[in-house]
Structure 1
């Protein structure tokens, strides 16, 4: 099993950050660029990977009271992850994303995972900044 985790501080209240991260219609805006989520019938979703052209059944659960998202492959048990938002005071938040790969063939490797996590957190911060700077958007 391989596990990876990254965190990033964001200049917004935790509720704003979580609302942006958990917005199923806008997941593609911050997820790794090659992944796309079809919400289907939540918590059941389908994840499409551009690189392989493969659709994978998955689960996505939102826990707003805990400001936490959890996801993973459905039936395969090869991959899980979670995102946690925590307030750190002064109107800022820390977002942590954790990934676990249970089957070696599904783990793209440390460098690829950390690049994807860092890129995703950066895009999420950009989405949060746009929302905070323009509350109508």
Structure 2
């Protein structure tokens, strides 16, 4: 099993960050460019990967009371992850994303995963900023 984890501070309360991250119809705005989530009958979702042009059955759960998202492959069990939002005071939050690859065939490698996680967290922060700026203006 291989695990990866990245964190980023965001300039918004945890509730705002969580709501943006958990909005399943807007996940394409912050997920890696080649991943798209299609909500089925939650918690069931389908994840489409452009690189392989493959659809994968997965599960997605949002636990607002814990400010946590969890997901993973449904049939083959090769991959799982979570996103945790925590308030750090002064209206800011820290977001941590953790990925676990149980099957080496699903692991694209450390460099690719770290770049994807950093890019996704940066894009999520942009979406959070847009939401906060629009709410304030």
1:22-80 CA deviation, whole Å, 9 max, x = no partner?
00110000000100000011100000000000000000000000000000000211000
Gaps of 5+ in 2: none
Residue 128, structure 1, aligned to residue 101, structure 2: no
Residue 10, structure 1, aligned to residue 6, structure 2: no
Alignment coverage as a number of residue pairs: 137
CA RMSD, aligned part only? 1.2
Who is 2:79 aligned against? 79
The separation in 2 between residues aligned to 1:120 and 1:135, in whole angstroms, is 22
Taking structure 2 as the reference length, what is the TM-score of the superposition? 0.98
The separation in 2 between residues aligned to 1:103 and 1:135, in whole angstroms, is 43
Taking structure 1 as the reference length, what is the TM-score of the superposition? 0.98
Deviation at 1:12, TM superposition (A): 0.2
Who is 2:56 aligned against? 56
Per the alignment, in what secondary structure is the counterpart of residue 135 of structure 1? helix
Who is 1:69 aligned against? 69
Residue 90, structure 1, aligned to residue 103, structure 2: no
After TM superposition, the structure 1 stretch with the greater mean CA deviation from structure 2, 1-10 or 127-136, is: 127-136
Task: Return structure 1 stretches of 4+ with deviation > 4 angstroms.
Answer: none
Gaps of 5+ in 1: none
Deviation at 1:129, TM superposition (A): 0.1
Deviation at 1:90, TM superposition (A): 0.5
Who is 1:41 aligned against? 41
